[in-house]
Amino acid sequence: MEVSIAPSKVPSRKPKALKKKNLRLRAKKHHSETIMIDQKEGLVFSSEKELFEHFQIQIDFLEAEHDALAKKYLSTDPKINQAEAEREAKIDIEDQLDFTLDLPTEIWHDSKTFPKFSIFHFIRGLDEVDLFHVAVAYVSHEDEPTFVFLHFITGRVEMVENYRRGDLVYDHNFEEVGFAMLEGDALSEGDPLGMGLFIAMLKIRGEKDIPYSDFQNLGEELRESTIETADEIWRSVDSSGNRIVTFIKEFSDHEKFKDLYYLAVTQEDAATKVHTLLFSFPTDDDTLVDRYRHGENLQADEVIQESSH
């Protein structure tokens, strides 16, 4: 078998729309009472009435889109829909907006929905109640969300997926895993599969395992050797059909850490057998290593690595 490592490539409730009674203007009024949405683009308005008239087409479009999606993803069981609506109604949505705009989990830059300007989708997971808050906003040249077209809370993941469109310009998870990023892996490109698997690993990792501060140095030292001369190679297929191949190598004589292992996790293309390096990490936890020993056991001496870049 020939293996090569390739470089990574990277709701049934109506939404809170911007009616006058529910105005969510982030732009500041000036002494002249003008409303500055984006001066560079000439979006300066003398009144709220003028502002809303300017954006009314976009507001109506986004409201209609939301309503259609909410209807599409309704459950066939009325009791489930009622429970969902009651759960969402417990959250004070107005209190959530500033948090979502200032501390989002994701921001998506959408340049295709409207031809004249881009919009941005701010998404924040409300982990404690398993809900999402989504806000669709205009962002000025000063990188500030100055006008919110609509925002809503939902527990339906399918609803949220619709707003994950365009370019992902911010991902909180990406910020959290920076300590483990190495040149050439998918983690450093913000790859969703790589990040998801890596974060899942962190959740089961022991508190006394290798410090995060040593991840990059050990990676630069040990990753290539692990891929080229692995002691074990395991292939498994996840629930989404992704072929995951893990390279494991023990470094029992390492000068700094005792009983050290290094693991490189890759995604294999079924047709070409080319592997994309998702992420890699060190550990001295035998139990954690055992979790990667599942699926098909491939003998290391039967594998030829064409490249690790």
Spell out the domain ranges in the chain.
Answer: 11-171, 180-305
Q: Which residues, including other chains, have CB under 8 Å from residue 215's CB and lie 6 or more apart?
A: 179, 180, 281, 282
pLDDT, position 32 = 56
Residue with more model confidence, 30 or 43 = 43
Residue with more model confidence, 24 or 96 = 96
Q: Radius of gyration of the chain from Cα atoms?
A: 24
- Res. 7: pLDDT tops 50: no
Q: What is the mean pLDDT of residues 163-172?
A: 88
Percent of the chain with pLDDT strictly greater than 70? 85
Strands (E), 111-257: 119-126, 131-139, 145-154, 167-171, 232-237, 243-251
Residue-wise pLDDT for 87-113, tens only, equals 888 888 888 898 999 989 899 999 999
pLDDT, position 175 = 77
Q: What is the mean pLDDT of residues 243-249?
A: 96
Ranked by mean pLDDT, which of 9-13, 153-157, 248-252 comes out on top? Answer: 248-252
Instruction: Report the mean per-residue pLDDT for the chain.
Output: 84
In three-state secondary structure terms, 158 is: helix
Task: Assign residue 33 a region (left: φ > 0; alpha: ψ between -120 and 50; beta: otherwise).
Answer: left
